[in-house]
Amino acid sequence: MTEKIVVKDLYKVFGERPDQAMQMINDGIDKDEIFDRTGQTVGVCGANFTVHEGEIFVVMGLSGSGKSTLVRLLNRLIEPTSGQVLYDGVDIAAMSDEELRALRRSDMAMVFQSFALMPHLSVIDNAAFGLELAGVDEAERHERALAALDQVGLKAHANSYPDELSGGMQQRVGLARALANDPAVMLMDEAFSALDPLIRTEMQDELLTLQREHKRTIIFISHDLDEAMRIGDRIAIMQGGIVVQVGSPEEILNNPANDYVKSFFRGVDVSTILSAKDIAVKRQVTVIEREGVGLKTAINRLNKEDREFGYVVGDKIDFHGVISIDSLDEAIKAGKTKLSEAFLPDVEPISGDTQVSDLIGTVAHAPCGVPVIGENGKYLGVIKKANLLATLDREGDGING
Amino acid sequence: MFPEQLKVPLGKWVNQFVDWLVINYGAAFEAFADSLLTLLVALEQVLRGAPWWLVLIAIAAITWHASKNWKLVLGLVIAMFIIGMLGLWDKAMQTLALMIVATSLSVVIGIPVGIAMAMSNRLRAIMLPILDTMQTMPSFVYLIPALMLFGLGKVPAILATVIYAAPPVIRLTDLGIRLVDPEVLEASRSFGASRKQILFGVQLPLALPNIMAGINQTTMMSISMVVIASMIGARGLGEQVLMGIQRLDVGAGMEAGIAIVLLAVVFDRIGQAYGKRSQRTPNTGDAQ
Ligand SMILES: Nc1ncnc2c1ncn2[C@@H]1O[C@H](COP(=O)(O)OP(=O)(O)OP(=O)(O)O)[C@@H](O)[C@H]1O
Ligand SMILES: [Mg+2]
């Protein structure tokens, strides 16, 4: 995966004497005390993370945790106090004004929570705003703006003015304005937070659709966990200016770095976030099907481990089938020799990407733990009724792996 | 009695300063005054030389352009017609020329100053008390230094008018720019706008309704200055009012007063119509 944006030791202090505050940070004094003693606010404190090309990277945190500051440090709407932001390996913090403007015009577009449209410009001129700044001539910029409006389904409103549109439509214009520049990176600061829940979900879907058609690197600020889980490939969690954890939604859910992170998941419906592969366990007896492993060997193995069911895999750990002591007995009595002739007929493996909410029925009705398979039929483990209940039960007070 | 020793000879200092200006920059002032005068005289000649109906048509056309409202057009044409019926057409044209030049000069000076004030808090802190002073000082106080620098006539009248009338357009330009939504400015920056692009593409267009209101106020104030300016030799309607006062001719003064009011109304309505137009409202839109 290509590293699109690399943030290294990034700090932002708001105040008259950032050097003094930086010294205090180095001495290990915390943000609140720095504020009490110097009146300066540490907006972002020592952020380090990498955003990969083509992913949606969500930054989450409570109000005042420094999300907006962080995202503005990436395109230098806010000057960093120290540290680096590498964009394709080039340090944005060290760019000249000219280079920075070129970057903003062609590579990094932003979408704002309050839409921030130009009230005096028509929808099409709003969408063409970035292109106009870049000096694109009128015919071309209108063509490109119209194409961008088409992508967000607003072509018909090209000649309206922002104040004639609903909030959701206004934000589509904001999105079109960013898309028109065809940027590699989009910075979205709580872009959907001002919209009502239905429209918000619709916009999230739309963003995901756009992303399927043309992968861009998106840095998406949000304070809504459901939103983060829904659209985020990876999530960074901020607390008081510090990035406390970066990981995939499942990683963070399964392994929260601290209580603050955990507190985000309170009340979240884990069954829609976790998928089968996250809760599958591998503590079952597996029998590798190969020359010399017959029905007898398998029955001995199950008896020795004191298990009723066994999971048969190939030599690449690809899933073949489920056997039980009973099915093995019957097969032997019927004079069969191959393991596959003892497979339980009514146990179907489920895909690792199935959401937990979608497999409850399957697991509940299966005679044994349900096998989970990944790509190329690879055996990932088994979900038993007991793990499923435990998972669903842990929802509510965070999950501790 | 306040002790005599503590008296500050401010008046003397000002005189000395004005003297110093006259001695050192007299030639420059004269050149400036000459070009202003040339401009004014040319405009006056055009307005007074043009047939009255042509002026009426011009005013009707401007009003239509500003408002697209035929009732307003009719009203303003009637107002101008009444001025003619009062026998004050020629004087009104003199006043009109003076006002156009003074207002234009105020705007040409005022908008850049307003922009500079919006950009710099320090400049704003210095300018605000100066603007307050400019507006609260009795207006004929300006006549004295203007007189000393330029003598009697039209040019000091224009300058006194500019000093008195420029503050609103300066203030409202500053205010209009400062009121522009900071998020919109941030968005402009985020798309790579330079300072110049932000000023001309975002701040000024968004400040336009306020700037137009400022220009309107400036125009009104320059009309009110017309009477006073006539004391130092500016011709026009003010002269007539002054004459009315001097000869205790209430009727003549009244006529001139009505003409001034009508002229003010014409300017005000045209200015307001332009102001409204700059403030695009959803349903009336641009295309109406
Ligand atoms: N220009 C500024 N001057 C001083 N302090 C600032 C400035 N901008 C932000 N801060 C402070 O920095 C901290 C982080 O602010 P930031 O806006 O980044 O938070 P946020 O996570 O985006 O919050 P929200 O969810 O409310 O948008 C806050 O304590 C805020 O008060
Ligand atoms: Mg924010």
What are the structure tokens assigned to B193, written together? 């706008």
Q: How many CB pairs under 8 A join A and B?
A: 63
How many domains is chain B built from? 1
- A3-107+185-268 under CATH 3.90.550.10, yes or no: no
State which of A10, A11, A41 you would mutate to test the pocket of ligand 1, scoring each by most atoms of that ligand within 8 A of its C-beta.
A41
In this complex, the residue of B187, B206, B280 whose CB is nearest that of residue A116 is B187
In this complex, the residue of A112, A134, A164 whose CB is nearest that of residue B183 is A112
Separation of alpha carbons B240 and B93, rounded Å = 13
- Asked whether the beta carbons of A243 and A261 are under 8 A apart, the reply is no
* pLDDT tens column, A182-195: 999 999 999 999 88
* pLDDT tens column, B50-89: 899 999 999 999 999 988 889 999 999 999 999 999 989 9
CATH code of the domain in which B164 resides: 1.10.3720.10
Contact A120 B197 (CB under 8 A): no
pLDDT for the residue numbered A394: 59
Separation of alpha carbons B83 and B264, rounded Å = 12
Percent of chain A with pLDDT over 90: 48
Separation of alpha carbons A318 and A306, rounded Å = 24
| Domain span including residue B199 | 28-279
Q: Residue B285 pLDDT more than 50?
A: no
Distance A67 CA to ligand 1 centre (A): 8
Separation of alpha carbons A181 and A166, rounded Å = 24
Separation of alpha carbons B72 and B51, rounded Å = 22
Residue B192 touches partner A, C-beta closer than 8 Å: yes
Sign of CA dihedral B234, B240, B246, B247: positive
Separation of alpha carbons A91 and A112, rounded Å = 24
Separation of alpha carbons B165 and B123, rounded Å = 20
Distance A121 CA to ligand 2 centre (A): 26
Q: What is the largest CA-CA distance in chain A?
A: 88
Contact A110 B187 (CB under 8 A): yes
Q: Residue A335 pLDDT more than 90?
A: no
Q: Is B117 part of a structural domain of the chain?
A: yes
Distance A78 CA to ligand 2 centre (A): 13
- Asked whether the beta carbons of B86 and B240 are under 8 A apart, the reply is no
**Local confidence band at A285 (pLDDT 50, 70, 90 cut-offs):** confident
Of B9, B259, B252, B236, which is closest to residue B102 (Cα–Cα)?
B236
pLDDT for the residue numbered A400: 41
Percent of chain B with pLDDT over 90: 44
**φ and ψ at B48, to 5 degrees?**
-80, -30
What residues contact A395, with CB distance under 8 A and at least 6 apart?
A268, A269, A270, A271
**Local confidence band at B288 (pLDDT 50, 70, 90 cut-offs):** very low
Residue with tokens 């069911």: A309
Q: Return the ligand number nearest the Cα of A79.
A: 1
Decide: A61 in ligand 1 pocket, CB within 6 A: yes
Of A135, A131, A171, which is closest to residue A154 (Cα–Cα)?
A171
Residue B201 touches partner A, C-beta closer than 8 Å: yes
Sign of CA dihedral B95, B97, B99, B102: negative
**Local confidence band at B160 (pLDDT 50, 70, 90 cut-offs):** confident
**φ and ψ at A154, to 5 degrees?**
-120, 15
In this complex, the residue of A114, A119, A133 whose CB is nearest that of residue B191 is A133
Q: Is B20 part of a structural domain of the chain?
A: no
Identify the residue whose C-alpha is closest to ligand 1 atom 12: A43
Decide: A63 in ligand 1 pocket, CB within 6 A: yes
ipTM of the complex: 0.76
In our burial notation (b when 16+ CB lie closer than 10 A, e otherwise), range A293-305 reads: eebeebbebbeee
Residue intervals in chain A for CATH 3.40.50.300: 3-107+185-268
- Mean per-residue pLDDT for B237-259? 88
Do strands A41-52 and A319-324 pair parallel, antiparallel, or not at all (unpaired)?
unpaired
What are the structure tokens assigned to B159, written together? 């300058």
- Mean per-residue pLDDT for B98-114? 93
- Mean per-residue pLDDT for A116-131? 94
Highest-confidence segment of A372-376, B189-193, B245-249 = B189-193
**φ and ψ at A362, to 5 degrees?**
-55, -50
Separation of alpha carbons A271 and A388, rounded Å = 9
Separation of alpha carbons A85 and B174, rounded Å = 36
Q: Which is higher by pLDDT, B288 or A238?
A: A238
Distance from CA of A163 to the nearest CA of B (A): 7
- Mean per-residue pLDDT for A262-283? 76
Q: Which is higher by pLDDT, B74 or A400?
A: B74
* Identity of the residue numbered B282: P
Q: Is B114 part of a structural domain of the chain?
A: yes
Identify the residue whose C-alpha is closest to ligand 1 atom 29: A64
- Asked whether the beta carbons of B63 and B269 are under 8 A apart, the reply is yes
Residue A116 touches partner B, C-beta closer than 8 Å: yes
- Asked whether the beta carbons of A2 and A185 are under 8 A apart, the reply is no
Decide: A67 in ligand 1 pocket, CB within 6 A: yes
- Mean per-residue pLDDT for A213-219? 93
Separation of alpha carbons B279 and B281, rounded Å = 6
* pLDDT tens column, B117-138: 999 999 999 999 999 888 788 8
pLDDT for the residue numbered B146: 75
State which of A34, A67, A221 you would mutate to test the pocket of ligand 1, scoring each by most atoms of that ligand within 8 A of its C-beta.
A67
Residue intervals in chain A for CATH 3.10.580.10: 277-393
Separation of alpha carbons B269 and A206, rounded Å = 49
Q: Residue A158 pLDDT more than 90?
A: yes
Name the CATH architecture for the domain at A277-393: Roll (3.10)
In this complex, the residue of A75, A102, A163 whose CB is nearest that of residue B190 is A75
Percent of chain B with pLDDT over 70: 97
- Asked whether the beta carbons of A299 and A290 are under 8 A apart, the reply is no
Q: What is the pTM of this model?
A: 0.76
What are the structure tokens assigned to B109, written together? 């000076």
Give bridge partners of residue A85 from the DSSP assignment: A7
Map chain A to HEC letters.
CCEEEEEEEEEEEECCCHHHHHHHHHCCCCHHHHHHHHCCEEEEEEEEEEEECCCEEEEEECCCCCHHHHHHHHCCCCCCCEEEEEECCEEHHHCCHHHHHHHHHHCEEEECCCCCCCCCCCHHHHHCHHHHHCCCCHHHHHHHHHHHHHHCCCHHHCCCCHHHCCHHHHHHHHHHHHHHCCCCEEEEECCCCCCCHHHHHHHHHHHHHHHHHCCCEEEEEECCHHHHHHHCCEEEEEECCEEEEEECHHHHHHCCCCHHHHHHCCCCCHHHCCEHHHHCECCCCEEECCCCCCHHHHHHHHHHHCCCEEEEECCCCEEEEEEEHHHHHHHHHCCCCCHHHHCCCCCCCEECCCEHHHHHHHHHHCCCCEEEECHHHEEEEEECHHHHHHHHHHCCCCCCC
Q: What angle do CA A101, A73, A213 make, to 5 degrees?
A: 70
Q: Residue B36 pLDDT more than 80?
A: yes
Q: What angle do CA A304, A305, A307 make, to 5 degrees?
A: 115
Separation of alpha carbons A106 and A185, rounded Å = 9
Residue A309 touches partner B, C-beta closer than 8 Å: no
* pLDDT tens column, A64-123: 899 999 999 999 999 999 999 999 999 998 999 999 999 999 999 999 999 999 999 999
**Local confidence band at B287 (pLDDT 50, 70, 90 cut-offs):** very low
Distance A133 CA to ligand 2 centre (A): 26
Separation of alpha carbons A206 and A211, rounded Å = 8
- Asked whether the beta carbons of A218 and A111 are under 8 A apart, the reply is no
